[in-house]
Amino acid sequence: MALGTMSAQITDFANRADPYPLYAALRKSPVTRQDDGTYLVSTYYEVRSLANDPRLSNDLRNRAPGAGGPAVAEEDTNLPPSFLFHDPPEHDRLRNTTMRPFGPPHSPRFLHDMRDDIAEIITGLLDALEGKDEVDVVEDFAYPLPVTAICRILGVPREDEPRFHGWADTVASGLDPSQGKEKAQEARRELGAYLSDLIEAKRRHPGSGILGSLAQETGSNGSMSTAELVSTSMLLLIAGHETTVNLIGNATLTLLRHPDILKRFQTEPGLVVPLVEEVLRYEPPVQFIPFTAALSDIDIAGTTIPKGAQVWLLLASANRDPKRFEDPDRFDPDREDNQHLGFYTGIHYCFGAPLARMEAQLALPLLFRRIKNPRLTADPPPYRANPVLRGPHHLPVAIDGLAA
């Protein structure tokens, strides 16, 4: 289906490197109706309000037929949707069950206990750069780190990664509203089959990682079905592949574009905590949420979004709203009260946020301590096709070797 004018521009690859002027134009009116009946929401307070509004549904079955807007890959396969595409109560049941082995209150130390492992992965990746004078920060670092980490966290064998790498990319492309869904659905089926076999094996031999614990939760008295666990693990695996890579890639790119801040960061590694938050505001890895639907008419900012309409929440635009952030186009790690929407807000707030923060906070200081005199060799770098999960495809950086 053809997209509305502005949505087509946002998804247009030509605008991938710098979508921010489009967002600025959109913010002239907080809520904009597209010709296809989709509503784009671009301002901070309106995005935040709608993300927390129980009249908006993430359940794809709630979109009115013919209301316009693209399909999403999670429809029309024999697998149930993951919790991202469910509303409560199913959403809460699935998400809470998944949280049990991953975080508080049941597993408050799980992530903390992964820290040393993740630091070790980072050191290994950096050591491998020895002898190079040009590195691809995405290919060599930002991609393999979260992939190795999510495999370890889930308990997915790292050696299978080449098999599901392509599937994960293709399934994620299903989030791109401008793309067809057939390939994504096929990849979803294949990745699903792989994960089903893995979960079956985990039921007998749980091993380490949360899939082993969750496999024990499935079954007749369990809190999720096997098919639901397959969908859930696919969501986590893909999120682990497609989001943190952009956080680290965007952070590296932004730092190289701001030499003063980079210089300060190299002598002040503690700056990484507010710096990562500012990257999440300034260049969020998830740019917008294109799949929510209104369950009833919603009056907002002088507009009525009608029941059944599809609503896009433009997180990256909200993060640059001058009504909320002073001088929003300035990258400023010292920004106070930086309540960005980079991890979304409300019940669908990023499940992996604490993991993403930990990875980025460990990775960036080590990266910039080790690589000597880094320079961007392509600005803008080549971007990934995906407009939702946005980030550089490659990030070539010239260096003067590696510090010990």
Partner 1 sequence: MSADADVQALRRKGRIVVVGASLAGLRAAETLRDLGFTGSLTLIGDEPYEPYDRPPLSKQVLLGMEPAEDTALPRKRDIDAEWRLGAAAASLDRAAEHVRLVNGDAVPYDRLLITTGTKARPWLHPEEAALDGVFVLRTRDDSARLSRKLAAGPRRVLVIGAGFTGSEIASVCRERDVEVTVAERAPAPLVGALGEVVAAAAARLQRDHGVDLRCGVSVTALEGDQAGRLRRAHLSDGSAIDVDVAVVSLGAIRNTEWLAGSGLAAGPRGVACDAGCRVFDVNGIVTDDIYAAGDVARSPHPLFGYQFLSLEHWGNAVEQAQVAAHNMVSTGPDRRPHLWVPMFWSVQFGVNIKSVGVPTMGDQLVIAQGALAEGRFVAVYGYRGRVIAAASFDSGKWLGFYQQQIETGASFPPDYAMVDRRTDALQPVDPAFPDPHLPTHEPTVTLTGHSPTERGVQFTAPRA
Q: 292, 252, 302, 291: which is closest to 272 by C-alpha?
A: 252
Q: Are 224 and 368 in contact (CB under 8 A)?
A: no
Helix 353-370 vs helix 144-154: angle between axes, to the nearest 10 degrees? 140
CB of 310 to partner 1, least distance (A): 16
Is 295 a binding residue for partner 1 by CB under 8 A? The answer is yes
Give the interface segment with partner 1, choosing from 30-38, 56-64, 128-136, 259-267 (CB under 8 A): 56-64
Q: For residue 228, what are the contacts with CB-CB under 8 A and spacing of at least 6?
A: 80, 94, 218
Is 57 a binding residue for partner 1 by CB under 8 A? The answer is yes
Is 59 a binding residue for partner 1 by CB under 8 A? The answer is yes
CB of 318 to partner 1, least distance (A): 15
Give the interface segment with partner 1, choosing from 176-184, 218-226, 291-299, 388-396 (CB under 8 A): 291-299
DSSP string, 125-183: HHHTTTT-SEEEHIIIIITHHHHHHHHHHHT--GGGHHHHHHHHHHHHHTT-TTS-SHH
- Collapse the DSSP code of 31 into the 3-class scheme (helix H, G, I; strand E, B; otherwise coil) and give the result: strand
Phi/psi for 209 (5° steps) reads 100, 160
Report 69-88 residues binding partner 1 (CB under 8 A). Answer: 87-88
Q: What amino acid occupies position 56? A: L
Pick the binder of partner 1 from 15, 20, 29, 55 (CB under 8 A): 55
Tokens of 285: 């890895």
Residue count, binding to partner 1 (CB under 8 A): 20
Is 310 a binding residue for partner 1 by CB under 8 A? The answer is no
Q: 207, 187, 199, 230: which is closest to 94 by C-alpha?
A: 230
Q: 84, 43, 76: which is closest to 313 by C-alpha?
A: 43
CB of 162 to partner 1, least distance (A): 39
Is 49 a binding residue for partner 1 by CB under 8 A? The answer is yes
Q: Are 25 and 299 in contact (CB under 8 A)?
A: no
CB of 179 to partner 1, least distance (A): 27
CB of 99 to partner 1, least distance (A): 13
* Cα gap 314→43, rounded to integer Å: 8
Report 87-126 residues binding partner 1 (CB under 8 A). Answer: 87-89, 92, 105
Pick the binder of partner 1 from 52, 123, 266, 339 (CB under 8 A): 52
Nearer to partner 1, 178 or 223 (CB): 223
* Cα gap 231→83, rounded to integer Å: 8
CB of 292 to partner 1, least distance (A): 10
Is 307 a binding residue for partner 1 by CB under 8 A? The answer is yes
CB of 53 to partner 1, least distance (A): 5
Give the interface segment with partner 1, choosing from 1-9, 51-59, 316-324, 383-391 (CB under 8 A): 51-59
DSSP string, 78-96: SSPP-GGG--TTHHHHHHH
CB of 82 to partner 1, least distance (A): 16
Nearer to partner 1, 323 or 375 (CB): 323
Site string for partner 1, 337-376 (x = CB under 8 A): ---------xx-x---------------------------
Nearer to partner 1, 122 or 224 (CB): 224
* Cα gap 328→331, rounded to integer Å: 8
Is 53 a binding residue for partner 1 by CB under 8 A? The answer is yes
CB of 307 to partner 1, least distance (A): 7
Q: What Rg, from alpha-carbon coordinates, does the chain have?
A: 21
Tell me which residues touch partner 1 (CB under 8 A).
49, 52-57, 59, 87-89, 92, 105, 295-297, 307, 346-347, 349
